[in-house]
Each structure stands twice: as C-alpha cells, then as structure tokens.
Amino acid sequence: MRTHALGLAAIAFLMTAASMLGAQTPPASPWRVTLRLSGGLLGLDREVTVASTGELKVSDRRRSSEITRKATPTELAQIGSLVADLKPIEAPRDVLCMDCPGYDLAVQANGRSIVASLNPITLSGTSAEPLVRALSTVLDRELAQPPNPSGR
C-alpha cells in the first residue's frame, strides 16, 4: 500500500514539475484563408484575408479602401475552427447566376490547399458555407467602419 501511495505521489510531482517548466500544447498548424467577393448587381470587388498569425486584411477596390489590423482572439478561434473543419469542396453544380456575387475562396492549412469558386446557389450546403459566412461578416463589419486617418 505504501509503495502504491509513493508511486501516486511521484506521478503528481512529475506532472506539477512539467507544468511549472512551461509544458505547453504544441501550436496549431499555421493557416491562411482569403475570400474574394466579386461581381453581382453591385459590381463588388472586395477581399478579406485572415491568417493564424493574427493578420487580418480587408479591401474594397471600388472604394480604394484597405484596412489591416490584428484579428481578435475570438475571430481567430472561430475562423480557425471553421478552417480545421473544412472538407474538400466538391466541384459545384454548373449553376449560372448572372446577378449573383462570386465567392473565390482560397485556404492553405495543414499542408493542403483548397480553392473554390462559388456563388450563393453553389455555396449552399457545402462545408465552405459557414467559413464564407464568417469571413463575409468580418469583411462587411470592417468596411462599415469610418475611415481612420492614422492608417488603421
């Protein structure tokens, strides 16, 4: 019984020592995702790029507007989770939508690349839909902000 108690104490000591030495979970694999919205009735030409490093860049070429900032931890967690859950995107049905915006999605993660050109009809129901929606939300929110003369 005494040997068993000593064994448990030794394990507890080693676990405590490891945590004190800064034992950490290995960092997640780096990723980068870009979404370009173009066309549609409004003639969109917008782009958002987010990377696991925290880089967040949005642009609207029609308005000659570009914003670069650090993504929030919440944005990184949400988008990182969606990138991790992304499955290969099957070739979309050949659905022509003349007045729809186009979504050009490019994802680099875990040593693989996923590239897809979609529209609202072909996006629906794909594994990319939640990611495109999240990126579109970030893009719209950032471009709705008033310009910051300090170069935000």
On the question of pLDDT at 107 being above 60, the answer is yes
**Average pLDDT of the residues in 61-90:** 91
Q: Please tell me the pTM assigned to this model.
A: 0.73
On the question of pLDDT at 45 being above 60, the answer is yes
**Which CATH number is correct for 31-144, 1.20.1530, 3.30.1560, 1.10.530, 1.10.287?**
3.30.1560
Phi/psi region, residue 48 (left: phi>0; alpha: psi -120 to 50; beta: rest), is beta
Task: Please report, for the chain, the start and end positions of each structural domain, with discontinuous segments joined by +.
Answer: 31-144
Say what the pLDDT of residue 92 is. Answer: 62
Say what the pLDDT of residue 148 is. Answer: 58
On the question of pLDDT at 23 being above 50, the answer is no
On the question of pLDDT at 20 being above 60, the answer is no
On the question of pLDDT at 121 being above 60, the answer is yes
Sheet holding 65-70, edge to edge: 65-70, 55-60, 44-51, 31-39, 101-109, 112-118
